[in-house]
Amino acid sequence: MRKAMAEAEVGDDVFSEDPTVLKLEEEVAALLGKEAALYTPSGCMANQLALAIHSIEGDEVIVEADSHIFNYETTAASFLSRVQLNPVKARDRGILSTEEIKPAIREKAYYMPVTRLIALENTHNRAGGTVYPLERVKEISIFAHLNGILMHLDGARLWNACAYSGKSPKDYAQNFDTVSVCFSKGLGAPVGSAITGSQENIAKARRYRKIWGGGMRQAGIIAAGALFALRNNRERLVEDHIKARRFAEIIHESSKNARIDLDRVQTNIVLLQFETPLDATLARLKDAGVLLSAGANGLARAITHLDVTMQDCEQAAMTIVKLFG
Ligand SMILES: Cc1ncc(COP(=O)(O)O)c(C=O)c1O
């Protein structure tokens, strides 16, 4: 990847003249079966571009209560697009159903917000990397479009959802007006995400990206890392899922004080509930060489990725069992 980045052909992407960025955008759009794509510095920007292009000020966007857009994008929806988020809590580990969404749709009245967009997250980060069944996505999408509501997918980890379900990125993407994806995270590129959709929507997104200061010049250097990741690192994601499962199973079998809901361990995220206070627990683990972060709702969060081996995962799990019993 570093070699590809060092050798990248570049141009000025503000003038759409960077051949490597253009290639990345073309490949990711084709992979998702969309007309066009736009390279962005981050997943947050890709999601926020979707909100900006789909809505007008004062609109409402339905999201899951534990979604990234609602919890981790620093009120950007109200800040940048002046829309309101309507968080709906999913009963099934972050995975919404049409029945749960229906009551959140606003009646049409001048004094009510307009429900403009539903944004789903697949895999669902705070729920522990859980995957939407394709049928569920289709059902929500049909319901939304019949009601004149647009659909966006926060697909930061769509690649993991595909590796788990055996479905293609296109299978999921065809149910959405826009899809954002990340080349960082599990794919291992240092920078960048993309938003994909129709030519018209991506032209609008390009304008907002510039307004928000995200127009980049010789971005081919980082896009080359993303392109390398897209081409080479998707198939190996199943390995990360196997490592996460093994890590979780060792702890589940041998620990009384670190609890794991094994049904949630579908992809590369493992959520752990410790008896001891979270901050002190994470600090103790760090001292012992195991890096977990604070996840949602007081849980600790472990991630497997291309830089940790199966042996690392087994050792980390055994350290947790040894330290906490
Ligand atoms: C589900 C989800 N969406 C979006 C993002 C945002 O990505 P970035 O950190 O590149 O802004 C993240 C980051 O963790 C995420 O987990």
Distance 178 CA to ligand 1 centre (A): 16
Quote the domain boundaries for residue 100: 2-232
* Statement to judge: residues 17 and 114 lie in one domain: yes
Distance CA 47, CA 181 (A): 9
* Statement to judge: residues 14 and 123 lie in one domain: yes
Beta strands 193-197 and 36-40, pairing class:
antiparallel
Distance 189 CA to ligand 1 centre (A): 13
What's the total number of domains in the chain?
A: 2
**Contact of 118 with 253, CB cutoff 8 Å:** no
**Contact of 164 with 131, CB cutoff 8 Å:** yes
* Statement to judge: residues 59 and 186 lie in one domain: yes
> What is the atom index within ligand 1 of the atom nearest the CA of 184?
10
- Give the per-residue pLDDT at 171: 98
Handedness of CA 160, 172, 46, 12 (dihedral sign): positive
* Statement to judge: residues 73 and 123 lie in one domain: yes
Q: Mark which of 211, 232, 253 sits at the end of a domain.
A: 232
- Give the per-residue pLDDT at 325: 87
> Which residue's CA is minimally distant from atom 16 of ligand 1?
125
Pocket of ligand 1 (CB under 6 A): 42-44, 47, 68, 121, 125, 154, 156, 182, 184, 193
* Residue whose structure tokens are 């890392």: 225
Q: Mark which of 232, 263, 290 sits at the end of a domain.
A: 232
Question: Which three-class secondary structure state does DSSP give residue 174?
Answer: coil
* Statement to judge: residues 249 and 199 lie in one domain: no
* Statement to judge: residues 261 and 164 lie in one domain: no
Distance 184 CA to ligand 1 centre (A): 9
Distance CA 167, CA 86 (A): 29
* CATH number of the domain to which 164 belongs: 3.40.640.10
Residues counted in the chain:
325
* Statement to judge: residues 97 and 211 lie in one domain: yes
* Statement to judge: residues 200 and 267 lie in one domain: no
> What is the atom index within ligand 1 of the atom nearest the CA of 154?
3
Distance 118 CA to ligand 1 centre (A): 17
Q: Mark which of 232, 253, 274 sits at the end of a domain.
A: 232
Please choose, from the candidates 36, 22, 90, 44, the residue with its C-alpha nearest in 3D space to the C-alpha of residue 296. Answer: 90
* CATH number of the domain to which 305 belongs: 3.90.1150.10
* Statement to judge: residues 130 and 155 lie in one domain: yes
- Give the per-residue pLDDT at 296: 86
* Residue whose structure tokens are 């510039």: 210
* Statement to judge: residues 26 and 172 lie in one domain: yes
| H helix or E strand, kind and range, residue 157 | none
Mutate to test the pocket of ligand 1, among 39, 48, 49, 125 (most ligand atoms within 8 A of CB): 125
* Statement to judge: residues 179 and 64 lie in one domain: yes
- Beta carbons within 8 Å of 239's beta carbon, 6+ residues apart: none
Distance 160 CA to ligand 1 centre (A): 14
* Statement to judge: residues 194 and 243 lie in one domain: no
In the chain (325 residues long), the average pLDDT of successive 10-residue segments reads: 98 98 98 98 98 97 98 97 98 97 97 97 98 98 98 98 98 98 97 98 98 98 98 98 98 95 97 95 96 93 97 98 93
Q: Tell me the two tokens of residue 114.
A: 């307009």
> Which residue's CA is minimally distant from atom 13 of ligand 1?
43
